[in-house]
Amino acid sequence: MDAHPPYPSGLRLTGRRVLMVGGGHVAQRRVPALLASGAVVTVVSPEVTPAIEALADSGEIAWQQRAFEDSDVDGTWYVIAATDDHDANQAVSMASESRRVFCVRADDATAASAWTPAVGRSSGVTVAVLSNEESNRDPQRSAAIRDEILEGLREGAIAAPHHRDRTPGVVLVGGGPGDPELVSVAGRKALMQADVVVADRLAPRELLGELPSTTELVDVAKIPRGRFTAQEAINELIVARALEGKRVVRFKGGDSFVFGRGYEEVLACRAAGVPVTVVPGLTSPVAVPALAGIPITHRGITHEFTVVSGHVPPDHHDSLVDYEAVARLTGTLVLMMAVENAAAIAEALVRGGRDTATPVAVVCDGSMPAERTVLATLGTLGEQIAAERVRAPAIIVVGEVVRVAHPEYFAPHG
Ligand code: SAH
Judge if 175 and 274 occupy the same domain.
Answer: yes
Spatial distance between the Cα atoms of 395 and 286, rounded to a whole number of angstroms: 9
Judge if 317 and 381 occupy the same domain.
Answer: yes
Q: Is residue 7 part of a domain?
A: no
Residues annotated as catalytic are 200, 222
pLDDT in tens, 132-160: 876 556 788 999 999 999 888 877 677 66
Judge if 289 and 252 occupy the same domain.
Answer: no
Single-letter residue type at 196: V
Spatial distance between the Cα atoms of 54 and 145, rounded to a whole number of angstroms: 33
Spatial distance between the Cα atoms of 396 and 374, rounded to a whole number of angstroms: 9
Of ligand 1's listed atoms, the one at least distance from the Cα of 282 is 7
Residue nearest atom 25 of ligand 1, based on CA coordinates: 394
Spatial distance between the Cα atoms of 393 and 174, rounded to a whole number of angstroms: 16
pLDDT at position 135 is 57
Final residue of a structural domain among 236, 252, 282: 282
Percentage of the chain beyond pLDDT 70 is 96
Q: Which of 395, 397, 398 to mutate to test the pocket of ligand 1 (most atoms within 8 A of CB)?
A: 395
Of ligand 1's listed atoms, the one at least distance from the Cα of 262 is 1
Of ligand 1's listed atoms, the one at least distance from the Cα of 202 is 19
Judge if 26 and 100 occupy the same domain.
Answer: yes
Centre of ligand 1 to C-alpha 280, Å, is 15
Q: Which of 202, 167, 170, 204 is nearest to 188 (CA)?
A: 204
Centre of ligand 1 to C-alpha 255, Å, is 9
Q: Is residue 5 part of a domain?
A: no
Spatial distance between the Cα atoms of 238 and 198, rounded to a whole number of angstroms: 8
CB 20 within 8 A of CB 41: yes
Of ligand 1's listed atoms, the one at least distance from the Cα of 371 is 23
Of residues 247 and 210, the one with the higher pLDDT is 247
Spatial distance between the Cα atoms of 88 and 286, rounded to a whole number of angstroms: 58
Spatial distance between the Cα atoms of 4 and 370, rounded to a whole number of angstroms: 56
CATH number of the domain within which 319 lies: 3.30.950.10
CB 281 within 8 A of CB 176: yes
Final residue of a structural domain among 282, 309, 324: 282
Type and span of the H or E element at 312: none
Centre of ligand 1 to C-alpha 231, Å, is 18
pLDDT at position 124 is 79
Judge if 65 and 176 occupy the same domain.
Answer: no
Spatial distance between the Cα atoms of 141 and 201, rounded to a whole number of angstroms: 41
Judge if 293 and 316 occupy the same domain.
Answer: yes
Residue count (the chain): 414
Judge if 252 and 309 occupy the same domain.
Answer: no
Residue nearest atom 21 of ligand 1, based on CA coordinates: 366
Taking the complete model, does pTM exceed 0.75, yes or no? no
What average pLDDT does the structure give for the chain?
Answer: 93
Spatial distance between the Cα atoms of 167 and 370, rounded to a whole number of angstroms: 39
**Residue 212 predicted with pLDDT over 80:** yes
What is the number of domains present in the chain?
Answer: 3
pLDDT in tens, 378-409: 999 999 999 999 999 999 999 999 999 999 99
CATH number of the domain within which 269 lies: 3.40.1010.10
pLDDT at position 221 is 76
Residue nearest atom 13 of ligand 1, based on CA coordinates: 337
pLDDT at position 136 is 57
Residue nearest atom 24 of ligand 1, based on CA coordinates: 394
Residues with CB under 6 A from ligand 1: 177-178, 202, 252-255, 258-260, 283-284, 288, 336-337, 363, 365-368, 392-395
Centre of ligand 1 to C-alpha 115, Å, is 52
Of ligand 1's listed atoms, the one at least distance from the Cα of 337 is 13
**Residue 228 predicted with pLDDT over 90:** no
Q: Which of 205, 278, 283, 284 to mutate to test the pocket of ligand 1 (most atoms within 8 A of CB)?
A: 284
Q: What DSSP designation does 20 have?
A: E
Residue nearest atom 19 of ligand 1, based on CA coordinates: 177
Spatial distance between the Cα atoms of 55 and 165, rounded to a whole number of angstroms: 38
Centre of ligand 1 to C-alpha 149, Å, is 34
Centre of ligand 1 to C-alpha 136, Å, is 52
Spatial distance between the Cα atoms of 197 and 249, rounded to a whole number of angstroms: 5
CATH number of the domain within which 35 lies: 3.40.50.720
Residue nearest atom 5 of ligand 1, based on CA coordinates: 259
Report, in angstroms and rounded to the nearest whole number, the Rg of the chain calculated over CA atoms: 30
DSSP 208-276: GGGS-TTSEEEEGGG---TTS-HHHHHHHHHHHHHHTT-EEEEEESB-TTSSS-HHHHHHHHHHTT--E
Q: Is residue 355 part of a domain?
A: yes
Domain of 87, in residue numbers? 17-116
Q: Which of 54-58, 78-82, 201-205, 250-254 has the lowest mean pLDDT?
A: 201-205
Final residue of a structural domain among 247, 282, 317: 282
Spatial distance between the Cα atoms of 170 and 168, rounded to a whole number of angstroms: 7
Of ligand 1's listed atoms, the one at least distance from the Cα of 178 is 22
- pLDDT confidence bin for 25, thresholds 50/70/90: very high
Q: Which of 311, 336, 367, 385 to mutate to test the pocket of ligand 1 (most atoms within 8 A of CB)?
A: 336
Residue nearest atom 18 of ligand 1, based on CA coordinates: 284
Centre of ligand 1 to C-alpha 382, Å, is 20
Judge if 177 and 269 occupy the same domain.
Answer: yes
Q: How far is CA 173 from CA 190, 216, 325, 337, 392, in A?
A: 8, 16, 33, 21, 22
pLDDT in tens, 346-372: 999 999 999 999 999 999 999 999 999
Judge if 207 and 310 occupy the same domain.
Answer: no
Judge if 272 and 355 occupy the same domain.
Answer: no
Centre of ligand 1 to C-alpha 153, Å, is 29
Of ligand 1's listed atoms, the one at least distance from the Cα of 363 is 24
